[in-house]
Structure 1
Amino acid sequence: MGYLSLAVYVEKAIEKMILEALLCCFGFEYGCSLPLENVAKESKFQTMIEYLPGEIIQTIMFRLPVKCLIKCTSVCKSWKSIIKNTSFVRAHLSHNVNNRDGAHLLLLHSGCCGTSHPIKEEVYSLHYDNRVFEEYCKIDFHILRVALGMGEQNFRVVDICHWLVCLADNSIAKTSKYMLWNLSIRKALMLPSSGLTYITHGHFEESIGFGFDVVTSDYKVVRLVTVDGRETLAEVYSLVRDSWRSLGSVKPSCQIYGTQPSAFCNGAIHWVVKRWTNGAFYYFILTFDVGSELFREITMPESTKYPLLWESRVSVSGDGNSLALLSTYRRYTGNDYLVDLWVMKDYCVQESWTKMITLGPQRDIPKTLTFGKSGVAFLLVGDYFQKNRLVLLDMVSRRIRKIENVGYEYCNSIHCYEESRNLVLLGTDNTVSY
């Protein structure tokens, strides 16, 4: 063991010993639910803690798992006050934002279809990121639904960013309801009403993006709204401010079509959009820098400008640092589709677009693309009339196989997720626990 790794090991061991000693001195067990039996015990513990400098306690807490921190809020009032303080939550997030030592998982949104409703039973589950796709756990979304009073309303996953999940309502009535969800602390926040609605602007198409500003430690939700197939407007929600703000008309000018997925990469949110130019639609990637809140344009690979392009969708590469593009198109003859997978090796460098693989010809249309950590990619495939099926694509052998152990007939989305090191929403007002 090298000197540095030995020093880290010793440091962590000391921190655990300090915390364990503090707890055990007063009859608590490290990692337990930490019940307080009486006021006298809490008072004695409080007195003991006062002898420790606050910066030492905070340094130790920064390194503790989220589940342990949640249990620590039951130890004494001072610890609860420290952990639930907004400044501590943001500092804890900044301290752990580059820590990726949690288990790599996949969040699957699936369900069973009914005869009179698109989805009869909505299910969220976590799975291991491997070729077997074993289930890690199911999530009590039904309990959250009841707690929020959502009734039969269905949601879709917009994206997952730094352990926080963003959901949007999946209603064709465009009720524009959005939620931020922290699975590890079992809390959710319904966002306030936005300013762009059917009542204010009439018929529109919308697409949602979700990202994180590392400078301000702020989560942001971005709405793109194309009104009557003409102008596209934008607004942004800030978790720090807990409010929406209009960004006005999007420049460069563009239109969104359908519920386009977005991808957060290199500090920016990305969508595939289109613009009417010289008598035809020109497709490109629109980016939104979460920090500066500015839009810009990225050109798609030249060979994606097929006359019979069906659709293109953005994603993020397996290392999380590169932009990926899935383009589905048809030949001049026949009804089968071809699918090209591209990766931009150097961000914003047009010449760095690299075609990784071509699939087909095939009847199925890929709906989403998620890269795993083990050299595989997960695709949701199906045509317009079919229920989506989850398949695994081996990037080396280029073989596709259906994943059989999902357990549900309808798969709506799949996203990468890591065991959380995030306390966000813990001290936030108007959250719902479940």
Structure 2
Amino acid sequence: MKSGCDYLLVHSGNRDCLSVFCPETYAKCLELNLPRHKSGSSFHIYGSCNGLLCISDNTMKRTYLWNPSIRKFKRLPKSLNRDKYRYSIATIALGFGLDVGGNDYKVVRIASFSHGICVEVYSLRLDSWRIINALPPVTSDVWNEKWAYLNGVVYWIVQEFSPDWRDIISFDMENEVFQRIMLPDRLLTVTDSISIRVLEKSLSLFHHRKDWDRGYRYYYDIWVLAMDSWKMIRTIPLPAKGKIAWPLAFTANGGVHFTMRYENWQHRKLRVVRS
């Protein structure tokens, strides 16, 4: 895959490992061991930039920067906000990327506590956290775990309840500020799944929808943000069999890698769908 990533890195049944697959043949190249800890919870990827990955457990308390090419982990220091707020607090979003101007990799952690939201930023260069004053322009604590990183900015989809719609929230790693980006009008109040991705160096959305008029067929509509305006550029019909699918990556010749779940929820397959 020449235009995105060189390999597919996915969970494949063993929660202590991530498997590396060739994107053309789907042959497994190797397995990479994840850190182990007493809680036994699995790890998820919360950011990727220049070959470095940000991974954390389900609670987002134990966070690591990982270089899979040399198989080395760096555990991040303890969060500051748990010392500042000595009551219930829960991380609701993580983001990872490069502060291009400062030539520094950063992790942003957004946490919810009883009186509001706290944001802290980790600097790899300084190897420390600091709490910042910038706050996301939303009141919701329902943040989609799907993320996108592009040109020094991290993006998430956030579910708002008043009014009942979704927004995109961005965080600029260099300036350390949040911004709100509206979804396309057609997607503001949809109940179907929406994933945020990067397609051909542009921010994109995948809308997974069901067409009731076509025999309950499933489709992905792809939207791209260009010049501050959303445009739907492709509609991909999904295979008739398979309950759920979500995009993993793009191929150099216009295909899209999907994960498909079948009747047995433990049974997953990788496949390419082309327009």
Quote how far apart the aligned CAs of 1:339 are.
4.1
The unaligned stretches of length 5 or more in structure 1 are 1-99, 113-118, 397-434
8 Å Cα contact 2:8/2:23 also seen in 1: yes
Q: Secondary structure at the match of 2:195?
A: strand
How far apart, in 1, do the equivalents of 2:168 and 2:5 lie?
Answer: 31
How far apart, in 1, do the equivalents of 2:4 and 2:148 lie?
Answer: 22
8 Å Cα contact 1:311/1:329 also seen in 2: yes
Matches within 5 A, 1:151-170: 152-170=40-58
How far apart, in 2, do the equivalents of 1:373 and 1:233 lie?
Answer: 40
Structure 1 residues 311, 245: CA separation in 2 closer, same or farther (over 3 Å shift)? farther
How far apart, in 2, do the equivalents of 1:331 and 1:371 lie?
Answer: 24
2:98 is matched by which residue type in structure 1?
F
Match of 2:196 in 1: 314
Higher relative contact order (CA 8 A, sep 6+): 1
Q: Secondary structure at the match of 1:303?
A: helix
Quote how far apart the aligned CAs of 1:310 are.
2.9
Matches within 5 A, 1:112-131: 112=14, 119=15, 122-130=16-24
How far apart, in 2, do the equivalents of 1:383 and 1:291 lie?
Answer: 42
**Number of residue pairs matched?**
272
8 Å Cα contact 1:158/1:262 also seen in 2: yes
Matches within 5 A, 1:49-60: none
Normalised by the length of structure 2, the TM-score is: 0.82
Q: Secondary structure at the match of 2:11?
A: strand
How far apart, in 1, do the equivalents of 2:70 and 2:255 lie?
Answer: 30
8 Å Cα contact 1:261/1:313 also seen in 2: yes
2:12 is matched by which residue type in structure 1?
S
Q: Secondary structure at the match of 2:175?
A: coil
Q: CA RMSD in A?
A: 3.5
Q: Secondary structure at the match of 2:186?
A: helix
Structure 1 residues 187, 251: CA separation in 2 closer, same or farther (over 3 Å shift)? closer
Higher alpha-carbon Rg: 1
Normalized per residue, the structure richer in helix is 1
Match of 2:172 in 1: 289
Match of 1:328 in 2: 208
Match of 1:380 in 2: 259
Superposed CA deviations along residues 245-268 of structure 1, whole A, max 9, x for unmatched, are: 223462312424265111101221
Quote how far apart the aligned CAs of 1:197 are.
4.5
How far apart, in 1, do the equivalents of 2:195 and 2:29 lie?
Answer: 28
How far apart, in 2, do the equivalents of 1:381 and 1:232 lie?
Answer: 36
8 Å Cα contact 1:129/1:373 also seen in 2: no
Normalized per residue, the structure richer in strand is 2
8 Å Cα contact 1:254/1:274 also seen in 2: no
Q: Secondary structure at the match of 1:262?
A: strand
Match of 1:213 in 2: 99
Q: Secondary structure at the match of 1:391?
A: strand
Match of 1:84 in 2: none
Quote how far apart the aligned CAs of 1:301 are.
1.5
Superposed CA deviations along residues 154-186 of structure 1, whole A, max 9, x for unmatched, are: 21111221111111112xxx2611001112233
Quote how far apart the aligned CAs of 1:240 are.
0.9
8 Å Cα contact 2:3/2:252 also seen in 1: no
Quote how far apart the aligned CAs of 1:354 are.
2.1
Normalised by the length of structure 1, the TM-score is: 0.54
8 Å Cα contact 1:338/1:362 also seen in 2: no
Superposed CA deviations along residues 325-361 of structure 1, whole A, max 9, x for unmatched, are: 12234578999574433232526x12x4224114458
The unaligned stretches of length 5 or more in structure 2 are none
Quote how far apart the aligned CAs of 1:290 are.
1.1
Q: Secondary structure at the match of 2:86?
A: helix
